[in-house]
Amino acid sequence: MLRHLPNPSHPDLLVGSENSDDAAVWRRPDGNALVATADFFTPIVDDAKIWGQISATNAASDVYAMGAEPLFSLNLVAWPKDELSLEILSQVLTGGQVAADEGNWVVAGGHTVDGPEPMYGMSMVGEVNADALLTNGGGSSGQALVLTKPIGTGLLATALKRSEPEAISAGGALNEIYLAGIQEMTRLNSSAAKTALRVNASAATDITGFGLLGHLHEMALASGVSASIDIEAVPLLPGVVDLVENGFVAGGTERNLDFLQPILVGGSTTERLIFCDAQTSGGLLFSCDSVAALDAVNELNETGHFAAVIGHLEPQNPGHITLSR
């Protein structure tokens, strides 16, 4: 997530990073700023159109996390044309267009290369008033933390890779969490960003590859505060505890937890793994006044979100996180 770090070569360019994704914000003379970012990955579901929609939704997430609105995007594709038909690629691109139509941005073109495995995503350009820009370094002690989507998409993706296709069918072991996960991964963070801005959120990030605790750690560290999380308040996809207990934990999630162990207090191993779950197209996490946080949650849940106040920021021990009940 972006921090206010001016580029020495140009004072109007702010740079930052989140996971392996680089994002930049360019301040314009008219008081607005352009947000540029890119994201792409291999398939996480078998349905080509849904994969395309998830990938595009995920690519837009960094833009929304900064309080910006997407303007246009370029498709980024690697495709093994001798192994997969171009008709399947057409379905992927259709899914990306579905997300763009919902988010009201233009898919202006793109670039395709031959590759050993399929990959798809988008480079994105958005716009925001520079004074309204959200970063992950603006949190203050005493503020509440709002999470706008349930956790568990990484566990779901891992379970899908290791299970038979029938598992997502009606009555299958993964049917309920699959349907819930698809709904969340294709849900744009547009409404969440607008709500965060309306309630005067001072810090925000989207929850992706570092998991809830990884991105919260970055936010708390950048803000010079610590955080306390109410374990039972965190919304989860249905059945995620069973997925952890059945061993469907990705290596990236385990690495997240290994890195964060020194700054964590409380919580069981299962709870820590769930909260470190590497998310795809996760929700926003933002901090704001406690009363405003309840207002934000009510507004979002009325629009179909599963948002919740999950904790608060505290003074001292910057970056540390306490898990409690």
Q: Clarify whether residues 244 and 293 are in a common domain.
A: yes
Please give the pLDDT value at position 22. 58
Q: What percentage of the chain carries pLDDT values higher than 90?
A: 91
* Strand pairing report for 226-230 and 308-314: antiparallel
**What domain range includes position 89?**
6-132
Q: Which of 97, 132, 167 represents a domain boundary (last residue)?
A: 132
Is 215 a member of any domain?
yes
CATH of the domain at 118: 3.30.1330.10
SS3 at position 56: helix
Residue 91 scores a pLDDT above 50: yes
Please give the pLDDT value at position 14. 54
Q: Clarify whether residues 30 and 61 are in a common domain.
A: yes
Q: Which of 65, 98, 132 represents a domain boundary (last residue)?
A: 132
Tokens matching residue 33: 């700023």
Report the domain count for the chain.
2
Please give the pLDDT value at position 244. 97
Q: Clarify whether residues 173 and 115 are in a common domain.
A: no
CATH of the domain at 320: 3.90.650.10
pLDDT digits (tens, 9 = 90+) for 199-242: 999 999 999 999 999 999 999 999 999 999 999 999 999 999 99
Q: Clarify whether residues 163 and 285 are in a common domain.
A: yes
Identify the residue with better confidence: 59 or 21: 59
Q: Find, among 154, 58, 53, 72, the residue nearest to 110 by Cα.
A: 72
- To the nearest 10°, the Cα dihedral for 122, 102, 61, 4? 100
Angle, vertex CA 101, rays to CA 124 and CA 23, nearest 5: 15
Residue 104 scores a pLDDT above 80: yes
| Averaged pLDDT for residues 92-97 | 98
Contacts of residue 12, Cβ cutoff 8 Å, sequence gap at least 6? 26, 27, 28
Is 290 a member of any domain?
yes
pLDDT digits (tens, 9 = 90+) for 241-284: 999 999 999 999 999 999 999 999 999 999 999 999 999 999 99
Is 228 a member of any domain?
yes
Q: How confident is the model at residue 7 (pLDDT cuts 50, 70, 90)?
A: very low
| Averaged pLDDT for residues 61-86 | 96
Q: How confident is the model at residue 324 (pLDDT cuts 50, 70, 90)?
A: very high
Identify the residue with better confidence: 218 or 10: 218
Is 194 a member of any domain?
yes
Q: Clarify whether residues 89 and 194 are in a common domain.
A: no
Q: Clarify whether residues 201 and 263 are in a common domain.
A: yes
Please give the pLDDT value at position 18. 38
pLDDT digits (tens, 9 = 90+) for 15-56: 443 333 457 899 988 989 999 999 999 999 999 999 999 999
Please give the pLDDT value at position 239. 96
pLDDT digits (tens, 9 = 90+) for 134-190: 999 999 999 999 999 999 999 999 999 999 999 999 999 999 999 999 999 999 999
Q: Which of 100, 132, 164 represents a domain boundary (last residue)?
A: 132
Q: Clarify whether residues 89 and 37 are in a common domain.
A: yes
Question: Distance between terminal CA atoms of the chain?
Answer: 28
Is 304 a member of any domain?
yes
Q: Clarify whether residues 166 and 249 are in a common domain.
A: yes
Q: Clarify whether residues 170 and 297 are in a common domain.
A: yes
Is 139 a member of any domain?
no
Is 137 a member of any domain?
no
Q: Clarify whether residues 109 and 164 are in a common domain.
A: no
Please give the pLDDT value at position 47. 97
Q: Clarify whether residues 203 and 287 are in a common domain.
A: yes
Q: Clarify whether residues 298 and 150 are in a common domain.
A: yes
Is 1 a member of any domain?
no
